[in-house]
Amino acid sequence: MSKIPKLRNDCFTLPLGAFWNPVDDALSLLKARLSCVVEKESCFVQDSDGRILAKSVLAPRSHPPCPNTAVDGYAVSGAISAGAQSYQLLDGRAAAGEAFAGSVSAGEALRVLTGAALPAGAQTVVLQEDVLIQDGIIEVNGPLELGSNARATGEDITVGAVLLKAGHKLTPQDLGMLVAVGVSKVEVFKPLRVVVISTGTELRAPGSEAQTEQIYDVNSPMLSAILRRWNLHVIEFGIVQDDPEALRKALDRAAECADVIITSGGASAGDEDHLSAILNATGTMALWRIAVKPGRPLALGVWNGTAIFGLPGNPVAAFVCLLIFARPALSQLAGAGFTRPEPLMLPAAFDKKKKPGRREYLRARLRSGRVDIFASEGSGRISGLSWSDGLVELTEDETSVIQGQLVRYLPYSSFGL
């Protein structure tokens, strides 16, 4: 059975008296309260792109594993002194993957090709363009330092070195490095399983018929696609009506097959906001009123031991809350630690006034070195999500932006999109 500690039922409770929580306080709380909930497994390096290391990786051998030549040329023993020097050319050669059985003594030279192991006794390689060959003698104009045009054992990676630490998310470049030093398998965390649920009686599944008073479920496909880009194991439950019994049943099923449940809609305190109502009844509910725009309260709770992130239903708010709050939390639950993107400071191509005391995220994009924002801040404008390439983050104390002023820009790529 799993030794992973269960989430505490009170893991999302806020300090008493808290009302509007600053974004950074909310993030600090998430960081402090959540921990890795997934088990480990072994994985072939070739299949490990995007996986999270559960154990640090040490180099089982050096890179390069032996001295080799970086060029086509002639290997000699020691450095080459200044002035005209001549060497006796040995029979044979060393090529990539084909070592030379003999050795090279002082005054001798061996033909070597790029990537070949240096023959015993040789440390220096002279470029083939820099020699003259006549009657088995090669002539060179020195000097040439010891070790020139050769790569020393372990000059890139030494055996036993810590290559990557636990919690690191593997990239294709990492796979290259690991293979180079002979790693064949790595210990990784099993992918975090996330159930995605959209709540709302007005919602219709993509592609189905919709009456004019009905709307299409934007959140399930959009949020699921984002979660897949984060390499999470996504289980789409589709739409659940605004009906407490139906929602309870869906959460029961979800808690059985997921490590985390992400819902959208029904998270406020209205008559049809059943998610917050039934989470409240469990006593694990925390309705976080975060001083952020867009984003209404974020409902956080624990259902049968499984964490629930109740995002706002509005797709723009759901998108921003997923990136800003759920992403670092999911990363922590998945074993990769609490990760937040580093904003780029770039000049604004817009003017804007803002209320102090809350943080705002504006749909933005970078053009010709300046950041522009979407014409409307209306959170119903789903087209602005598609238009944008990132978010401008205006901090709590900022009250205005004028063109040319540096603003904090978070490209979607910095959120792994």
Query: Is 125 or 222 the residue whose CB approaches ligand AMP more closely?
Result: 222
By CB under 5 A, tell whether 200 contacts Mg ion.
yes
Position 213, amino acid = E
- Please identify which residue in 120, 215, 281, 402 interacts with ligand AMP, judged by CB under 6 A: 215
User: At its nearest, how many Å lie between Mg ion and the CB of residue 413?
Assistant: 31
- Residue pair 51/43 in contact by the 8 Å Cβ criterion: yes
Question: Which run of H or E residues covers position 80?
Answer: strand 80-94
Q: What is the largest CA-CA distance in the chain?
A: 98
Number of Cβ within 10 Å of residue 252's Cβ equals: 11
Q: What is the DSSP string of 308-366?
A: EEEE-SSHHHHHHHIIIIIHHHHHHHTTS----PPPEEEEBSS-EE--TTSEEEEEEEE
Q: What is the smallest separation between the CB atom of 212 and ligand AMP, expressed in angstroms? A: 13
Burial of 13 (0-12, 13-18, 19+ CB in 10 A): middle
**CA-based angle 259:262:266, to the nearest 5?**
140
Residue 73 binding: pick among ligand AMP, Mg ion, none (C-beta 5-8 Å cut-off by kind): none
Report the nearest approach of Mg ion to the CB of residue 200 (Å): 4
CB of 26 to Mg ion, least distance (A): 22
User: Least distance in Å: CB of 164 to ligand AMP?
Assistant: 38
Contact set for ligand AMP, span 244-273 (CB under 6 A): 264-268
Instruction: Report the partner that residue 148 touches, choosing among Mg ion, ligand AMP, none (CB closer than 5 to 8 A by kind).
Output: none
Choose the one of ligand AMP, Mg ion, none that binds residue 411, judging by a C-beta under 5 to 8 angstroms depending on kind: none
**Cβ neighbours of residue 227 closer than 8 Å, sequence gap 6 or more:** 194, 196, 234, 262, 330
* Total residues binding ligand AMP (CB under 6 A): 17
Which CB, 14 or 277, lies closer to Mg ion? 277
The residue whose Cβ lies closest to ligand AMP is 313
E strands in 200-353: 203-204, 215-216, 233-240, 260-264, 286-288, 292-293, 298-303, 306-311, 344-347, 352-353
The only residue of 119, 265, 294, 328 in contact with Mg ion, by rule CB under 5 A: 265
Name which position in 154, 295, 301, 315 contacts ligand AMP (CB under 6 A).
315
Under rule CB under 6 A, residue 219 binds ligand AMP: yes
Binding mask of the shown chain, residues 349 to 368, with x at each position contacting ligand AMP by CB under 6 A: --------------------
The window from 308-316, 331-339, 342-350, 367-375 that contacts ligand AMP (CB under 6 A) reads 308-316
- Calpha distance 381→89 (Å, rounded): 76
Stretch that binds Mg ion, among 44-52, 106-114, 116-124, 192-200 (CB under 5 A): 192-200
Handedness of CA 160, 162, 165, 168 (dihedral sign): negative
Please enumerate in sequence order all residues whose Cβ is within 8 A of that of 209, keeping only pairs 6 or more positions apart, or say none: none
Q: Which is nearer to ligand AMP, 203 or 261 (CB)?
A: 203
* Per-residue DSSP letter, 7: P
Stated length of the chain: 417
Q: 300-325: string of b/e by CB count within 10 Å (b at 16+)?
A: bbbbeebbbbbbbbbbbbbbbbbbbb
CB of 234 to Mg ion, least distance (A): 22
Position among 68, 124, 224, 314 found at the interface with ligand AMP (CB under 6 A): 314
Pick the closer one to Mg ion by CB: 11 or 251.
251
Query: Given the rule CB under 6 A, which residues bind ligand AMP?
Result: 198, 200, 202-203, 215, 217-219, 264-268, 312-315
Query: Given the rule CB under 5 A, which residues bind Mg ion?
Result: 200, 265-266, 313
